[in-house]
Structures are given as C-alpha cells and as structure tokens.
Structure 1
Amino acid sequence: MEERILAEGCRKGDNAARKELYDRYAGRLLAICMRYVGERATAEDLLHDAFLKIYGAFDRFSYRGAGSLRAWIERITVNVALEWLRNRNRLGVVELDEGRAAGTIADPDPAEVARVPHDVLLRFVGELPDGYRAVFNLYCIEGLPHREIAQMLGINEKSSSSQLFRARNILARRIKDYLKTH
C-alpha cells in the first residue's frame, strides 16, 4: 500500500491500514525505542505507547511526499521515548568518577569502528547513562543541534554539549577495549 493511501486509511480508523502501518514500521520504531531506553521490555512498552499516540494523531498528519509518513511516526516515537525519560528524571547530568573530569580519548578511526559488529555498537550505546544516550542519539542519529536538544530535554545547551562529549569518550574507550580483545 502506498504511503499516502496508508496514512489516509489510518486517519479513517481502518484496521487493515493500522495493521499494515504496524507491520511495516514496528521493527524500526522498536529499534528507536531501544536506542533511547536501552531495555527491551521498556522499549516494547514505549513502542505500544507510540503507536497509540500515532493512531490518535493522524488528523494532524499532512502528507509531504515519499518518506514523510515514516519521518512523522519516527519523530513521535522519539518524543514518546524522551517523555518517558523526562518523566522519570533520567536525563540529568551524570557525575563521573567522583566528580573528576573525564580524560579525552581520541575518536577511533572509522575503519576500526567498522570492525566492531553492529549489535555490539548498539549495545555500547544502550549501556550509556540515560542522559548521555539521549543526547548522543539526538545529535549523532537525529542530527539535531545542541540548542534544539537542550530545549527538548529541558537542559542547557552546555549540558547537551558536555553530555555528548562524555558519551563519545565512553564509546571510544569501549570500542578501543573491544578491538584489543577481538
């Protein structure tokens, strides 16, 4: 079913269209939830919440060409995950090693990163502290600027930048350690 027709069916409450929407995008949206919360059970709950919100919001969707439906439902899913993190006060700045500043670790070479299996990289991202993981995803995956991230998360811009710096350091260290043993 073409995206525009699928969206129109969902807008009208057509269960066949809703099922197709779910079948087509559930895996992708679950992966988004996993990137933000890091726990499968919680991610599955958030996926359910995201679909309820999506189905209830079709009156506000306007088709803007190929890919616009997917972009719209992905944005809703990201917002559901961020809302879950905010409501649990899990986005604050995380103290590192009793307040000591984190040392800078050089980013690994892209060729080195390519040697690390995709599922291992996702696990490393999933193991980041909640605030670091949220900022990392919003900046590196969603491509948002720190100003917008700060507004979305209710933190200041410098905190967003700092959390991204720390997330990258943790990931660089984890990748380097992994490559030493594999």
Structure 2
Amino acid sequence: MEEQILADGCRNGEGAARRELYDRFAGRLMAVCMRYAGDRATAEDLLHDAFLKIYGAFDKFSYRGSGSLRAWMERITVNVALEWLRTRNRRGFTELDEGRVAATVAEPEPTSSEMASVPREVLMRFIAELPDGYRAVFNLYCIEEYSHREIAQMLGINEKSSSSQLFRARTLLARRIRDYLKTH
C-alpha cells in the first residue's frame, strides 16, 4: 500500500491500514525507542505509546512525498521518548548532568576502519549502556542531527550541558570501543 493511501486509511480509522502501518514501521520505530530507553521492556512501552500517539494524530499529518510518513512517525517516536526521559528526570529516577566539572580525559575517537570491525549490535549495546542523559544527547546530536541549542530546549538543560554530555558520551563510547577491539 502506498504511503499516502496508508496514511488516509489510518486517518479514517481503518483497522487494515493501522495493521499494515504497524507491520511496516514497528521494527524501525522500535530501534528508535531502544536508542533512547536502553532496555527492551521500556522500549516496547515507548513503542506502544508512540503508536497510540501516531494513530491519534493522523489529522495533523500531511503527505509531502516518499518517506514523509516515516519521518513524521520517527519524529513523534523521538518526542515520546524525550517526554519519558523528562518524566523520569522530574521523578528523580535519572539525572541529566548539568555540566559539572568532569575528570574525563578525552579518548581518541576510533578510526572508520576500527568502527567497521565492531558489529552493529555491539555498538548499539554500548549506546544503550550510556547514562540516560548522555544517551539522549548522543542520539539527538549524532543520529537525529539536532543542534545543541535545540537539544537544550528539548531536554530543559543549557547548551553547555548538552555539549558536555555529548563529549562525555563520545569519550565513554570511544573507551568501550577501544576495550572491545583489544579483546576481539
């Protein structure tokens, strides 16, 4: 089914269209949720919440060509994940590092050939194991390609904190990758 027809079917509440939408995009959106949640059970909850939000928001979707449906759904999913992170932060479950002085020494980033020798699943596990704040900033900056200003607004932190958390995330990832390469 073409994206525009699929979107129209979902907008009209057609069960077959909603099933196809889920079947077609659940895997990709689950990967987005895993990048932010860090564990499968939480990611599944986020995916469920994202699809509920998606199904309820089709009146706001406008088709803009091939890929626009996927991009729109990914944006909603990222927003659901960010809201989850903000809620956790308000409840005191996680703390977004507000730029405290770090004793972290920059780790040289692995070369592209070193990166190519690390399996994707291993890299994703390393990202999932980052502290919540580091993982969120890393995903938003490196994968979603937001600026530090945009990230700061999304997470309710200042730009320097976003930059600091990205630096620390990259340093931790570089260290984990170097350790992995030494043993594999």
TM-score bin (small chain) = over 0.9
Alpha carbons of 1:142 and 1:7: their partners in 2 closer, same or farther (altered >3 Å)? same
Who is 1:78 aligned against? Answer: 78
Offset of residue 101 of structure 1? 1.8
Question: For 1:46 and 1:170, how far apart are their aligned partners in 2?
Answer: 26
Runs of 4+ in 1 over 3 A off after TM superposition: none
Question: For 1:66 and 1:100, how far apart are their aligned partners in 2?
Answer: 44
Question: For 1:43 and 1:70, how far apart are their aligned partners in 2?
Answer: 18
TM-score, structure 2 normalization: 0.95
% identical equivalent positions: 74
Who is 1:153 aligned against? Answer: 155
Tell me the number of residue pairs that the alignment of Structure 1 and Structure 2 aligns: 180
Q: Give a deviation string over 1:18-50, Cα, whole Å, max 9, x none.
A: 000000000110110000010100100110000
Is the 1:94–1:131 contact (alpha carbons within 8 Å) kept by the matching residues of 2?
no
Question: For 1:126 and 1:93, how far apart are their aligned partners in 2?
Answer: 17
Flag structure 1 segments of 5+ consecutive residues without an equivalent.
none
TM-score, structure 1 normalization: 0.96
Who is 2:68 aligned against? Answer: 68
Flag structure 2 segments of 5+ consecutive residues without an equivalent.
none
Q: Give a deviation string over 1:115-163, Cα, whole Å, max 9, x none.
A: 0000000000000000000000000000111110111111100000000
Question: For 1:79 and 1:6, how far apart are their aligned partners in 2?
Answer: 22
Partner letter of residue 96 of structure 2? Answer: G
Question: For 1:94 and 1:18, how far apart are their aligned partners in 2?
Answer: 41
Offset of residue 92 of structure 1? 1.1
Local SS of the residue matching 1:88: helix
